[in-house]
């Protein structure tokens, strides 16, 4: 077997730690960085090595993968002084798997190209379950050569991989995904709220509808969590609000009016403001339970 390239993984949070772990299992030498080192300790115990900054991690690897929180974080670690673009060795492949903005993905691609680097914007869908089970859906933007080079890594972390187009296309695809998820989450919660108000057994109702047209990935993944009172984050509310706001901005730039997306953003922003930022997206249920879903966000 050919020697695996060394991979730098920046961002070992809820999803990143599991994704990086799959790369270790697949035999990739790994160097890691996370703002909170303790979140990388499991990977270090398995043989990963520590870097003191994103730029240092990138300087020691042939491939750099990032999974951080917000577009501002992506911009800082890639384009800031001493960052990934500045310090990655010529010929390296840079893969940002954060959900960020298409415009920033294009800027990173342009800056990286000027240094002889290849890039992919490759956000994912599947949440913590997909990350743990290596069943993520990966949506990439970039050139075909970079995508082919990344495929063995993607195969270690996910099960569906698409090259959507050039730089930024992966982020646009992820926005379409988040718009779809926003609608199915509202449907899930309102269906169960209706069943509860009608006096139905929620476990039985969820099981019955799991075999019908109301079923969806969110129905199967998050319905049981709601019914058991589990609102821990598989995907943080604060990150979903960020995604929905990017989707709204991009939609408006395209001349679109998407009232369902606008409603979802208002509801999730209200949940975030009501101490829900660190909860999982299924915690929108709590907003309905409090009867707080009809108010505006002041």
Distance between CA 11 and CA 72 in Å, rounded?
14
Beta-bridged to residue 64, according to DSSP, are 8, 94
Could you give the CA distance from residue 130 to residue 146 in angstroms, rounded to a whole number? 23
Q: Are strands 63-66 and 30-33 parallel, antiparallel or unpaired?
A: unpaired
Contacts of 173 (CB under 8 A, 6+ apart): 123, 139, 141, 162, 164
Cβ atoms of 128 and 15 within 8 Å: the answer is yes
The whole-angstrom separation of Cα 67 and Cα 88 is: 17
What CA–CA distance (Å, rounded) separates 229 from 261? 26
- CA pair distance 122, 105, nearest whole angstrom: 10
Q: 174 an active-site residue?
A: yes
Burial (Cβ within 10 Å: 0-12, 13-18, ≥19) of residue 51: buried
Antiparallel, parallel or unpaired: β 30-33 and 136-142:
unpaired
Distance CA 94, CA 248 (A): 27
Three-class SS string for 160-221? EEEEEECCCHHHHHHHHHHHHHHHHHHHHHHHHHHHHHCCCCHHHHHHHHCCCCCCCHHHHH
Q: Which of 159, 174, 196, 238 is catalytic?
A: 174
Residues noted as catalytic: 174
């Amino acid at each position: 077997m050919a020697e695996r390239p060394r991979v730098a993984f920046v961002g070992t949070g809820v999803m990143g730690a599991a994704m990086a772990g799959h790369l270790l299992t697949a035999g990739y030498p790994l160097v890691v960085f996370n703002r909170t080192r303790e979140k990388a300790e499991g990977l270090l115990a398995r043989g990963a090595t520590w870097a003191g900054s994103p730029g240092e991690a990138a300087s020691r690897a042939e491939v750099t993968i990032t999974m951080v929180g917000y577009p501002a974080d992506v911009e800082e670690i890639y384009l800031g002084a001493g960052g990934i673009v500045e310090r990655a060795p010529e010929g390296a492949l840079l893969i940002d798997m954060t959900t960020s903005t298409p415009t920033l993905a294009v800027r990173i691609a342009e800056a990286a190209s000027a240094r002889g680097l290849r890039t992919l914007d490759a956000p994912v869908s599947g949440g913590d379950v997909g990350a743990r089970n290596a069943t993520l859906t990966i949506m990439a933007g970039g050139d075909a050569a970079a995508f082919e080079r990344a495929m063995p890594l993607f195969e270690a972390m996910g099960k569906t991989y698409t090259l959507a187009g050039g730089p930024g296309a992966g982020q646009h695809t992820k926005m379409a995904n988040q718009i779809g998820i926003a609608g199915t989450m509202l449907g899930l919660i309102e269906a169960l709220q209706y069943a509860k108000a009608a006096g139905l057994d929620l476990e039985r109702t969820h099981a019955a509808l799991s075999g019908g047209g109301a079923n969806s990935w969110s129905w199967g993944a998050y319905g049981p969590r709601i019914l058991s009172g589990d609102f821990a984050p598989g995907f943080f509310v604060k990150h979903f609000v960020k995604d929905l706001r990017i989707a709204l901005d991009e939609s408006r730039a395209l001349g679109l009016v998407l009232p369902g997306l606008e409603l979802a953003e208002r509801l999730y922003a209200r949940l975030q403001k009501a101490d829900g930022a660190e909860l999982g997206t299924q915690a929108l249920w709590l907003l309905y339970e409090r009867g707080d879903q009809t108010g505006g966000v002041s």
